[in-house]
């Protein structure tokens, strides 16, 4: 297994470029993350760009931990249709639907879903290794 630090950055495909997050990315991410339609389904709301940037800088190294994993898992509320539609579109499979599983800050109980993708879903040759 290759450590994220050993990879050549940015990692590119035909349609995607991945690179480690940096503190300079915070303003661009904040421009959409701070929108009410985005924060509706996020567990944490940040008061301002400075608090968001501090949290992002503290957690950025952990975002690389998804590289070279056998399984990637994502969770979302079933009401968050844009989120689960993009997961379905890129090939992530819905594995569970939990009915009225999470108490939302609105006071409503919401259904949630778990989605997952295996390394072999991304690269069938990985199954042969």
Q: What are the tens digits of pLDDT across the range 90-102?
A: 888 999 999 999 9
Backbone angles phi, psi at 49, to 5 degrees: -60, -40
Domain layout of the chain by residue ranges: 1-68, 69-129
Query: pLDDT exceeding 70 applies to what percent of the chain?
Result: 80
pLDDT reading at 128 higher than 50 = no
Name the pTM for this structure. 0.59
Q: CATH says 69-129 is which class?
A: alpha beta
pLDDT band at 7 (very low <50, low <70, confident <90, very high): low
Contact assessment for residue 119 and residue 70, using Cβ atoms and an 8 Å cutoff? yes
Q: What is the mean pLDDT of residues 54-73?
A: 68
Contact assessment for residue 87 and residue 115, using Cβ atoms and an 8 Å cutoff? yes
Q: Is 14 helix (H, G, I), strand (E, B) or coil?
A: coil
Contact assessment for residue 97 and residue 79, using Cβ atoms and an 8 Å cutoff? no
The most confident of the ranges 6-10, 29-33, 53-57, 115-119 is 29-33
DSSP secondary structure code for residue 63 in this structure: H
């Amino acid at each position: 297994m290759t450590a994220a630090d050993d990879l050549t950055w940015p990692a590119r495909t035909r349609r995607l470029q991945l690179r480690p997050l940096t503190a300079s990315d915070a303003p661009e991410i904040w421009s959409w993350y701070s929108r009410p339609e985005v924060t509706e389904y996020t567990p944490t709301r940040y008061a301002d760009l400075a608090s968001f940037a501090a949290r992002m800088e503290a957690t950025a190294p952990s975002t690389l931990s998804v590289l070279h994993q056998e399984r990637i898992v994502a969770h979302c509320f079933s009401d968050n249709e844009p989120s689960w539609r993009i997961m379905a579109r890129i090939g992530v499979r819905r594995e569970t639907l939990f009915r009225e599983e999470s108490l939302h800050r609105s006071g409503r109980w919401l259904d949630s879903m778990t989605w997952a993708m295996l390394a072999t879903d991304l690269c069938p040759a990985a199954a042969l290794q």
